[in-house]
Amino acid sequence: MLTIIRIWENSLYPFITLFNRPPMNARESAWQIILEFEKSNRHLDGLLDHYLRKAELTGKERKFIYNLVSGCVRHKSLLDWKASTFYHGKYKKAFDKLKVILRLALYEIDFLPHIPPHATVNEYVNLGKRLLPRSNVGLINGILRSYLREGKHLNPEKEFKYVETQIAVRYSFPEWLVKRWLSQWDVKFVEEMCAAFNDRPVFDIRINPLKLGAAEFVKNMNSEKINCTASQTFENMFEVTDIQALMSTKMLQQGFFSVQDESGYLAVRLLDPVKGERVLDVCAAPGSKYTAMLEENVTNEVVVALEIDHSRLEKIRENCIRLQLPTGWIVQADARNIPFKKLFDKIIVDAPCSGIGTIQKHPDIKWRRNMEEIFRFQELQLEILSSAAQMLKPGGEIVYSTCTIDSSENEFVIESFLQKNGDRFEIVEPPELFSPFISEKKYIRTFPHLHGMEGAFAAKLKRIKK
């Protein structure tokens, strides 16, 4: 008999807050984490990280739980639609506990082919016996066995009239977001982008040139039996699929590398700070761009990291210590009111954004964001860019970057800024290195299906000398 206790709003203990006893296996753990995510709408990474650090699990169990949870969140709409097809009644009114069990089971059947489907059905029927009222057990068994017989014939294109609904269900994205994308790009582009966002994520690694070169890094990776692929754009970047294996090695604490998506590193290279310049990194946490600049330009006159949040500011300091870099100047301040008097040669604004370009690594983002948030980010971004631009020397350059693909947070911000400041600032065309990523308006744009990177944006502006 289960004893349900109150779920505290700020709790970080999904397996304690929901139940008064620990889960029996990995599937039940995944079920509890997804339920906590559905109820709290908190960051999925935080829930997973907290649970996986505290629970006594084998490495295999950790990977399995991570796969189940992230996969079910990634494909939520598709899995729910499939389950609803075999459910008699209004599926929206079904208990969340039942929906999550069906979602997990269907994910295993469709996306984990190494597990025999009938074994999956048995596992989740038994899980239902343990967690749900007896009346639901037969329902789970009936829906899953019906799906095994008839599920391959399901097709959203036959079921739904409108293309935005078809895409929203097949690729599991909120319909409002699909409609927004279809207003900017054609159907083929949006479908390919959605499919790429749903691919299993790979991770980019930036090696620390003060510690080792590319050849030595590859040698270390081979000794750890971890596969890596060199970047086609930057010689100090590598792609890794098994990030958990890499993070468990001594190389992380030895300061040999940092995890940074190649799209984020593009913004650093676009800024291109050189020896003797004063450089400011605005909204700098967690410090990927800041540490990249320190690694490559340790002799700069000064490199300042500005961050409003103290805990995130400490993360910058920790990364500098781990990489054995000079911490430079790390300042806690609001980017809308920068507290310096002396101007800078180069500035990078890594603006707070919706993060929609990172959906491949963070699938929960598509369910947590809404249009109102995007407009709030837009207003904040323009404020921060305008504030940072006042700190730039005549002839100096500023890069504005985000990890979103939404034009409201990207092109609109730059064009709004230039409408007010076009007599003092101009767009700088990126050099040849960036040609695969340059839009017709001289902006840097990356997309997962076109470039194998996160969706991101960057633009470089120059303050005109008078």
Is 402 a residue whose pLDDT tops 90? yes
Mean confidence (pLDDT) of the chain: 91
Specify the pLDDT at position 152.
87
Q: 429: which 2 tokens?
A: 């065309």
- Whether residue 124 contacts residue 31, with contact meaning beta carbons closer than 8 Å, is answered with no
Specify the pLDDT at position 327.
66
Is 96 a residue whose pLDDT tops 60? yes
Is 456 a residue whose pLDDT tops 90? yes
Q: Which CATH superfamily is domain 203-259 in?
A: Sun protein; domain 3 (3.30.70.1170)
Residue extents of the structural domains in the chain: 14-153, 156-197, 203-259, 262-463
What average pLDDT does the segment 30-34 reach? 95
What average pLDDT does the segment 2-17 reach? 32
Could you report the per-residue pLDDT of 370-384, keeping only the tens digit for each? 999 999 999 999 999
Instruction: State phi, psi for 303 to the nearest 5 degrees.
Output: -125, 120
Q: Name the pairing type of β-strands 425-427 and 392-402.
A: unpaired
- Whether residue 103 contacts residue 130, with contact meaning beta carbons closer than 8 Å, is answered with no
Specify the pLDDT at position 7.
26
Cα–Cα distance for residue pair 355/359, rounded to 1 Å: 7
- Whether residue 80 contacts residue 87, with contact meaning beta carbons closer than 8 Å, is answered with no
Instruction: State phi, psi for 304 to the nearest 5 degrees.
Output: -110, 135
Specify the pLDDT at position 61.
87
Could you report the per-residue pLDDT of 301-346, keeping only the tens digit for each? 688 999 999 999 999 999 999 999 876 789 999 999 999 999 999 9
Specify the pLDDT at position 31.
96
Q: Which CATH superfamily is domain 262-463 in?
A: Vaccinia Virus protein VP39 (3.40.50.150)
Asked, as a colleague might, if the bond just before 201 is cis with ω within 30 of 0, I would say: no
Alpha-carbon separation of residue 207 from 295, 321, 327 (angstroms)? 10, 15, 18
Work out whether the CA dihedral 63, 64, 70, 74 comes out positive or negative. Answer: positive
Specify the pLDDT at position 58.
80
**pLDDT above 90 coverage of the chain, percent:** 82
What average pLDDT does the segment 224-243 reach? 94
Cα–Cα distance for residue pair 235/43, rounded to 1 Å: 33
Segment among 276-280, 360-364, 407-411, 457-461 with least mean pLDDT: 276-280
Specify the pLDDT at position 157.
92
- Whether residue 78 contacts residue 111, with contact meaning beta carbons closer than 8 Å, is answered with no
**pLDDT above 70 coverage of the chain, percent:** 94
- Whether residue 31 contacts residue 96, with contact meaning beta carbons closer than 8 Å, is answered with no
Active site residues: 403
Alpha-carbon separation of residue 215 from 209, 211, 229 (angstroms)? 11, 12, 12
14-153, which class in CATH? mainly alpha
Q: 459: which 2 tokens?
A: 């633009």
Collect contacts of 72-76 with beta carbons under 8 A, ≥24 apart: 72/30, 72/34, 72/100, 72/103, 72/104, 72/107, 73/34, 73/37, 73/44, 73/363, 73/364, 73/367, 74/172, 74/198, 74/363, 75/107, 75/110, 75/111, 75/172, 75/198, 76/103, 76/172, 76/367
Q: Name the pairing type of β-strands 329-332 and 392-402.
A: unpaired
